[in-house]
Amino acid sequence: MPDPFEDTLPDLGIAASGEQPERVDERGTFGLALTLCWASGAVNHSDCLVMPRMNLGQDLFPPELEAGLRHQPAGTVTSHRWPDGAPLPGYREEDVLSIEDSAFNRHLRRVAVEPRAGRFYPRGFIAGVRGLLREDRTPFRMGSVDDGRLTIDLNHPMAGRDIEAQARVLDISRTRRGGAARHEVVVLAAYNGAGMQARWRGRPTDFRADDPFRRADPQPDHDFYEQPRFVQHLDRTALAHIRRLYRDLIPPGADILDLMSSWVSHLDDVAAPRSITGLGMNAEELGANPLLTEHLVHDLNAEPRLPRDDQVFDAVVCTVSVEYLIQPVAVFREVRRVLRPGGRFILTFSDRWFPPKAIALWQDLHEFERMGLVLEYFFEAGGFDGLNTWSLRGLPRPDDDKYADRLTRSDPVFAVWGDKYA
């Protein structure tokens, strides 16, 4: 898996190991990047959370990780693998329940919600089951919907999974953290999302119900994109990590298709690409993109077929745009067609988009479920293996960012990729 911090500490405003002689101990705090690596079936997952101001005396570290961090300088990396999923909660079969369909409160919100297999919902939807309260927002998973009964899974989505945790010290400060807050660091890294991108017991997740591809603006995309928009969707730190991810995943000398492209391609760090073809909606934006060797104006929602011959690209990327596709599986099959054997399709996204044109399903999903949705596109399209998901959250937002006065954390980055069968 790509390491987002291998060579990026100085330019992200995080002290590199040679700049601070301090060592990790109880006297101060340190920034920690904790990555959980795990698998579900044939899919590999990597979820990284950056946690500032951690302290060995106040926070709870598994002994195996603490031993590798104590008295070490910034830049230190230590890891440990738990084949039984510890220190995360164990999986309990008694927390998988069969309940009456009527126990799911479809009218908890203003808009009626139907239970769908594999999806996540706040526990308030099943208030009364095991004494759960209406106000409880902890997610649970709908395992199956069948014959007037529902199978619900109250386990944490990472419960019982084999995991490898990698801990990296980012910086060290002699400023002591006040208060009595105590965090279990591995649980914190898994909290609020990790695991939700995997299928439940290997079964497809029902993302197809409830008119998922409807949009607030149903008018032709040509009208919406007729005027150029020379804007960046994400902050500088998030975009830097997208560029590095593409660098790590695309081989030198590749022919690349930048799908749903614009005036920037985020492929600056890829080694010596042979060609970069941009396919997008606005000719003026594409014409201003200095990396493109060729550009095509093409509306994938009107015509999913790509105007290229079979097997002509080594890599296809789609940056913060998959949420606009209304025929995604058709597009994924076209990507497979134009890729050479072994070629890679990489999709990156975050939690920002143009609301009128994003599909309704995307806006309804938890941010980690969106990786699961993109995985389902790959599964349904067929012809791909080497599937991976990757997430990065918690980095500081650049001080000069336009949202720095309101948001302290950088935009999260999520990625899913797969390789065409060789």
Element (DSSP H or E) covering residue 316: strand 313-319
Distance CA(27)–CA(44), nearest Å, equals: 37
Segment 47-85, tens digit of pLDDT: 999 999 999 989 999 999 999 999 999 999 999 999 887
pLDDT value at 20 more than 60:
no
Tokens representing 107 are: 């009218």
pLDDT at 122: 96
Beta bridge partners of 82: 163
Which one has a higher pLDDT value, 175 or 133? 133
- Contact present, 96 and 47 (Cβ < 8 Å): no
pLDDT value for 225: 83
What is the dotted CATH code of the domain comprising 221-420?
3.40.50.150
Say yes or no to pLDDT of 13 above 60. no
Task: Note the pLDDT of residue 88.
Answer: 85
> pLDDT band at residue 7, thresholds of 50, 70 and 90?
low
Provide the mean pLDDT of the chain.
92
- Distance of alpha carbon 20 from alpha carbon 16, whole angstroms: 7
Distances from the Cα of 67 to the Cα of 24, 190, 243, 388, angstroms = 11, 21, 34, 30
Output the pLDDT for position 179. 66
Mind listing the pLDDT tens digit for each residue in 312-349?
999 999 999 999 999 999 999 999 999 999 999 999 99
Q: Are 75 and 17 in contact (CB under 8 A)?
A: yes
Among 359, 361, 356, 353, which residue's Cα sits nearest to residue 412? 353
Q: Which H or E run contains 336?
A: helix 328-338
Listed in sequence order, the residues at least 6 apart from 23 whose beta carbon sits closer than 8 Å to its beta carbon are 71, 72, 73, 172
**Section 261-275 average pLDDT:** 97
In contact, 34 and 199? CB cutoff 8 Å: no
Taking the C-alpha atoms of residue 294 and residue 273, their distance in angstroms, rounded to an integer, is 13
Q: Is 379 left (phi over 0), alpha (psi -120 to 50) or beta?
A: alpha
- E strand or H helix at 386: strand 384-393
pLDDT band, very low/low/confident/very high, at 178 (cuts 50, 70, 90): low
Q: Flag the least confident range among 38-47, 74-83, 188-197, 217-226.
A: 217-226
Pick the CATH number of 10-87+160-190 from 3.30.70.120, 3.40.50.300, 3.10.50.30, 3.40.50.150: 3.10.50.30
Tokens of 233: 């969707």
Please name which of 282, 281, 318 lies closest in space to residue 300, comparing C-alpha atoms: 281
For 285, residues 6+ apart whose C-beta sits below 8 A from its C-beta are 228, 229, 230, 261, 262, 263
pLDDT of residue 10: 36
* Domain boundaries of the chain, sorted by first residue: 10-87+160-190, 93-153, 221-420
Q: How far apart are CA 228 and CA 56, in angstroms?
A: 51
Residue in the block written with tokens 């990590």: 241
Chain segment 87-119, per-residue pLDDT in tens: 888 999 999 999 999 999 999 988 899 999 999
**Alpha helix ranges (H) inside 226-277:** 236-249
pLDDT recorded at residue 105: 97
- This prediction has a pTM of 0.94
Express each pLDDT in 345-401 by its tens digit: 999 999 989 889 999 999 999 999 999 999 999 999 999 999 999 999 999 999 888
Tokens 């490898």, residue?
A: 164
Tell which wins on pLDDT, 29 or 17. 29
**Are 101 and 92 within 8 A, CB to CB?**
no
Instruction: Specify the higher pLDDT residue, 22 or 305.
Output: 305
Nearest C-alpha neighbor of 398 from the set 290, 238, 261: 238
Q: Would the pLDDT of 302 be above 60?
A: yes
Q: Give the integer Cα–Cα distance in Å for 273 and 256.
A: 7
End-to-end C-alpha distance for the chain, whole angstroms? 20
Q: Residue 390 has which token pair?
A: 């990757």
**Secondary-structure class of domain 93-153 per CATH:** mainly beta
Give the pLDDT band of residue 18 (cuts 50, 70, 90). Answer: very low
Our measurement of the distance from residue 341's CA atom to the centroid of its chain's CA atoms, rounded to an integer in Å, reads 26
- Is residue 17 scored above 50 in pLDDT? no
